[in-house]
Structure 1
Amino acid sequence: MKILIYSPLFYPSVGGLETVVSILAHEFVEQGHTVKLVSNVPTTDRKIFPFEVIRKPNPLKLLKLTHWCDIYFQVCVSLNGLWPLIFISKSLVITHQTWYRSPNETMNWQNYLKHIVTRFATNISASHALAKSIPAPSNVIPNSYREDIFYEMPEVSRSQELVFLGRLVSDKGANLLLEALAELKKMGLTPMLTIVGSGPEESKLCQQAKDLEIYEQVNFVGVKVEYELVKLLNAHQIMVVPSLWNEPFGIVALEGIACGCVVVGSEGGGLKDAIGSCGVTFPNGNVEKLTKTLFNLLTHPEQLTSYRENAKLHLARHTTKAIAKAYIEVLEAVIK
């Protein structure tokens, strides 16, 4: 197949969408297909990809690319990238990786249009929650994780209790985890918490830990990546993903599971799909339920072992090759 990927965000831009599209593009090529990728992000370096990257093409170039492809593949609905299909009829496939609505559940005119577009496309959603949020039928194919980077290190002692990994912004819920830690202290438990990441809420979270008199239990280590991050995750028993908003999916949970962590995460949205049978969920924003969940796991370590035993089968469904193969099956069915 000749696959044209229209993804406004791509390298050197960094983020979840960029990671998803990069993994898919590489795997499509690996599985024998020809890929060209259109992006609106300029670059000054000469990084080599196994597929052609066309940055900010003019209208004529984009029309030629559309004529070339068998599949016009979008990563989330991009209204600005749909106009070539008015002139050239091609199969439109869209992978949905986020909500088309604001955090307060309202929708602007652009989001209404995006919902309409889904009725004219073959849709793939990263989670069951995302699939339910659009008005058209959608295949559910979860996201993958980088199994070449995230894996268990038997030589690392898993001697630390809790870890949080994410941007330090209000909707990620690190403040909720600090409140739960304070409640656990009242119950006689004083687990250590490692907070990995940075963001505008960092100073506020430090002050909160001091006010709750748990600062000595919290270690803010900043941003960690690749080997250093993997080694750190391997040293922990439980990853907590206490997002206050509904996560569309939650690749961070897969990364934690791959490193041997049991994951405790908020149940709204698609995060529960990522956690599967490898952890426990609790209602978004519910400190009491989060505290009880952590207390049960910390005082019953045999439960941790039980959840870890489910990891191998769960992760096998999320490898880059397995996910790319599932996508290819959908794409091939479209052009038959």
Structure 2
Amino acid sequence: MRILIYSPLFYPSVGGLETVVLILANEFVQQGHSVKLVSQTPAIDQDTFPFEVIRKPSPKHLLQIVHWSEIYFQPNVSLKGIWPLLFHARPLVISHNNWYLRKNGHFGWQDYLKQLITKFATNISVSHAIANHICSKSSVIPNPYEEDIFYERFDILRCQELVFLGRLVSDKGVDLLLNALAEIKALGLTPTLTIIGQGSQELKLRNQVKKLCLNEQVNFVGVKVGQELAQLLSAHQILVIPSRWQEPFGVVALEGIACGCVIVGSEGGGLSDAIGPCGVTFSNGDVKSLAKILADLLNHPNKLFKYRASAKQHLVQHQKIEVAKAYLKVFERAFH
């Protein structure tokens, strides 16, 4: 098949969606298909991908690329990228990786329009929660992770207890985790917590650590990526994902599971799909429930083995080749 991917954000832009798009494009090529990717993100150096990347094409050039394609694939609905289909009818496949809502949680006219477009597309949702959010029927295909980077390293001693990985913003709930840490400290439990990431709330969180007298337990290490990140995860027992908001999915959970961590995460949205049988969930924002779960796992470390035992089977469906195959089956149905 000749697959055109329209992804406004792409490398060198960094994010979960950009990573998933790159994984899928590479796998489509590996499995024998022709791929072109259109992006509005300018390059910082020469592209060296195994597929052609067309950046900021003119309307005429975009029409030519659409004419070349047999499948028009959008990761999330891009309203600015729909118009060429009015001139060249092609099967439209959309993967839905996020909620179609404004920041205040309300529907805007753009969101209603995006939902309308799903009625004319073949749809893929990254989690059951997103599938329920989309007003049209969709296939649920979970996101992949980079299994060549994130895997368990048995030469690294798993000697640290808790780790958080993500942006240091209010939605991610690091402050809730710190409050839970203070609660279990009152019970005599003083696990270490490594905070990986950066963000607008970092100074506030550092002050919270001081206020709660957690200085000796909490270590901010900044942004880590690639092999360095995987090695750091492999040194920890429990990855905590205490998000306030409803995560659409949660690739970070897959990365932690692959590195041998047990996951403790908020249950709302699609995060519970990503965690599966490899951890424990709690109600979003519930500090007491989070503290209770952490205390239980820290007091009974034998329970961690049960969750780790489920990792291999759970991760199979998230391997790059399997996710790409599932996408290609949807493409084939849309094409025929």
Pick the TM interval, shorter chain: over 0.9
The answer (yes or no) to whether the contact 1:38–1:55 under 8 Å persists in 2 is yes
> Does the alignment pair 1:179 with 2:176?
no
Q: Could you tell which deviates more after superposition, 263-272 or 58-67?
A: 58-67
CA–CA distance in structure 1, aligned partners of residues 44 and 84 of structure 2? 27
Correspondence for 1:334: 334
SS class of match (2:240):
strand
What TM-score, normalized to structure 1? 0.99
Correspondence for 2:318: 318
- 1:169-201, CA deviations, whole angstroms, 9 ceiling, x for partnerless residues? 111000000000000001111111010111111
1:103 Cα deviation (Å)? 4.1
Correspondence for 2:213: 213
CA–CA distance in structure 1, aligned partners of residues 11 and 76 of structure 2? 17
> Does the alignment pair 1:78 with 2:85?
no
SS class of match (1:264):
strand
Correspondence for 2:41: 41
How many residues align structurally? 336
Correspondence for 1:110: 110
1:295 Cα deviation (Å)? 0.8
CA–CA distance in structure 2, aligned partners of residues 26 and 269 of structure 1? 28
What TM-score, normalized to structure 2? 0.99
Correspondence for 1:302: 302
Unaligned stretches of 5+ residues in structure 2: none
Unaligned stretches of 5+ residues in structure 1: none
1:44 Cα deviation (Å)? 3.4
SS class of match (1:254):
helix
Correspondence for 2:232: 232
CA–CA distance in structure 2, aligned partners of residues 166 and 8 of structure 1? 23
The answer (yes or no) to whether the contact 2:4–2:36 under 8 Å persists in 1 is yes
1:104 Cα deviation (Å)? 3.5
- 1:103-153, CA deviations, whole angstroms, 9 ceiling, x for partnerless residues? 442011111100100011000010000010010001000001000000111
1:13-52 mapped onto 2 (5 Å cutoff): 13-52=13-52
1:1-336 mapped onto 2 (5 Å cutoff): 1-336=1-336
Which amino acid in 1 is paired with 2:303?
A: Q
Identity %: 64
- 1:218-265, CA deviations, whole angstroms, 9 ceiling, x for partnerless residues? 011111111211111111000000000000100000000000000000
The answer (yes or no) to whether the contact 1:103–1:245 under 8 Å persists in 2 is no
CA–CA distance in structure 2, aligned partners of residues 264 and 19 of structure 1? 24
CA–CA distance in structure 2, aligned partners of residues 227 and 18 of structure 1? 19
Which amino acid in 1 is paired with 2:289?
A: K
1:204 Cα deviation (Å)? 0.6
- 1:70-115, CA deviations, whole angstroms, 9 ceiling, x for partnerless residues? 1000010000000011111110000011110024420111111001
CA–CA distance in structure 1, aligned partners of residues 53 and 119 of structure 2? 28
SS class of match (2:190):
coil
CA–CA distance in structure 2, aligned partners of residues 332 and 256 of structure 1? 33
CA–CA distance in structure 2, aligned partners of residues 232 and 63 of structure 1? 46
SS class of match (2:119):
helix
CA–CA distance in structure 2, aligned partners of residues 196 and 79 of structure 1? 34
SS class of match (1:20):
helix
